[in-house]
Amino acid sequence: MQEETYNRKLIIELIAQGYKVIVNGAPTKIDIDLWDYIAQIVDFSRFHLLEDLLQWGDRDLTLIDRAA
């Protein structure tokens, strides 16, 4: 069964549940300061801040691969 694609409604729900980022297609909660977390990232190609994704359209959000 295929998981639903990302859309604005799902992004809003994830933020409300305490998620901060999407890493490698998976929503991720962060237990440390966001900037400290970002400083540890080596590959930003599959990293997205959920707050930033609120500015994307639903069509663009569907392009983010969901984690398998």
Q: What is the pLDDT of residue 3?
A: 63
Give a yes or no: residue 37 inside a domain.
yes
Query: Cβ–Cβ contacts within 10 Å for residue 68, how many?
Result: 7
Q: What is the pLDDT of residue 67?
A: 61
Task: Provide the b/e sequence for 30-67 (b: ≥16 CB within 10 Å).
Answer: eeeeeeebeeeeeeeeeebebeebeebeeeebeeeeee
Domain tally, the chain: 1
- Is 25 part of any domain? yes
pLDDT (tens digit per residue) in 35-50: 898 888 887 878 999 9
67 inside domain: no
Residue 68 lies in a domain: no
In a domain, 1, yes or no: no
| Chunked mean pLDDT (size 10), the chain, 68 residues | 76 96 91 89 86 93 76
Average pLDDT, the chain: 87
The answer to whether residue 56 is domain-embedded is: yes
